[in-house]
Amino acid sequence: MNAIRRQFFFSYGAIGSVAPLMSVFLWKEAGFGLLQIGFATALANVPMLLSPALMTLLADRNVDSRRILAGAFLVSCTVMLLMHEIDVLWVRLTLFLFHGLAFVAMLPLQDGFFFSYAESRRHLGENVDPYPSVRVWGTIGFIIPSLILYFLLRNGGPISQTLLCGFGFGLASLINTFTLPEVRRAPESSDDNPATRRSIPTAEAFRRLLSPKARFLCLGLALGYMATLSYNAFIAVYYGKVIGIPSQYIGLVINLGVVVEVLCTLWMPKLQSVLRLKGIMVVGLCGMVTRMILVAAYPTVWTAVFTQLVHGMEVLALYIAPVMFLDRLAGDRFRNSIQGVFTMTVGGFSRISGALVAG
């Protein structure tokens, strides 16, 4: 499991390098207006309509997930390096699209890889660490870049340094893919009829998401993703332009919430025993609504800091509990695909809509 923990750490480190200050980078260094930032954010999420489902389908079709991840990180690293070096607006927009094409597929593929590996270990009678105890390393990885970038930006350094930081973590992720364990697939059940064995994993996953067990959850999460994308796409600009927080401190303020996220993720098994997954999602979404109302009504530094306290439950509600619920719905034939199809159908459309509406 250590290699999988490192994979989560490095991959979320790459996200934590770029995501918190990307809107500030587009605003200050690329000269984007709010509408253009919304368009660029939507553009980065367009690949969600294809690449997650495609890459997870390949994984379920016995293409080695480790090599798919390596290829995606190679593309992402190349794009971040080129975005840092090329100061041309249309080129940066195009590169931003390719960055999304590679990166949006990594997270559902990593989740699918973990659950497939865990299931293969269970078939052998071994104990497996729960998902939150592994996923928490991604949260820790997300925090580290803010500390690095504080020192890089505190003397007025260019915000494009975020891209170099992301490149470093992406390169570490690429190298780490070659240390990931092999996933041995469970043998097909003799109860499976030939039609089931011939069906496409993506189609099976899609049918499962439309089942009565999942359809209303997917609808609610789609609205939640629209809201959080609208918030996250512009919150860094809001902190800088409206509240007046200096650029070098924005990442630190945002990552106060990520520290809370670490604690919530570690406590999730206990929370789950009390609230269950459904209760965790309800509490987290209520916290998200409260946070947005307070930041809009009272735009002060203290409000920005105080509202980070609900960030942990929000992440559990939108990004950890749903992944665990999806794995409960999945069969061995489409354990990767259900993560990718969910990211495509629920995550992709809602995030694009949220970014465009917010812009």
Per the domain annotation, does 257 fall within a domain? yes
Report how far apart, in Å, the C-alpha atoms of 66 and of each of 4, 55, 73, 339 are.
11, 11, 11, 16
Report the CATH number that the domain containing residue 141 is assigned in CATH. 1.20.1250.20
How many folded domains does the chain comprise?
Answer: 1
Tens-place pLDDT, residues 316-340: 999 889 888 888 887 777 777 788 7
Higher pLDDT, 111 or 94: 111
CB atoms within 10 A of CB 261: 26
Residue whose tokens read 């945002």? 254
User: What pLDDT sits at residue 187?
Assistant: 55
Q: Give me the residue label for tokens 């949220």.
A: 354
Q: How confident is the model over 73-91, as a mean pLDDT?
A: 81
Q: How far apart are CA 141 and CA 108, in angstroms?
A: 17
Is 237 part of a structural domain of the chain?
yes
Average pLDDT, the chain: 81
- Do 202 and 52 touch, CB atoms closer than 8 A? no
Q: Has residue 192 been placed in a domain?
A: no
Pairwise pLDDT comparison (83 vs 286), residue with the higher score: 286
Reduce the secondary structure of 277-310 to three states and give it as a string.
HHHHHHHHHHHHHHHHHHHHHCCCHHHHHHHHHH
Residue 189 lies in a domain: no
Q: Answer yes or no: is pLDDT of 191 > 50.
A: no
**What is the extent of the structural domain holding 55?**
2-184+201-358
Mean pLDDT of the 219-234 span: 85
Residues in contact with 191: Cβ distance below 8 Å, sequence separation at least 6, in sequence order: none
| Residues 145-165: tens digit of each pLDDT | 878 877 877 777 777 788 888
15-29, 56-70, 307-321, range with greatest mean pLDDT = 307-321
DSSP conformation class of 184: P
In a domain, 195, yes or no: no
The answer to which of 30-39, 176-185, 289-298, 315-324 has the lowest mean pLDDT is 30-39
- Token digits of residue 194: 């030939």
Helix (H, G, I), strand (E, B) or coil at 117: helix
Least confident of 35-39, 193-197, 229-233, 247-251: 193-197
Angle between helices 215-238 and 321-329 (to 10 degrees): 150
Report pLDDT digits (tens) over 258-297: 888 889 988 988 888 898 988 999 999 999 999 999 999 9
Residue with the larger pLDDT of the pair 186 and 127 = 127
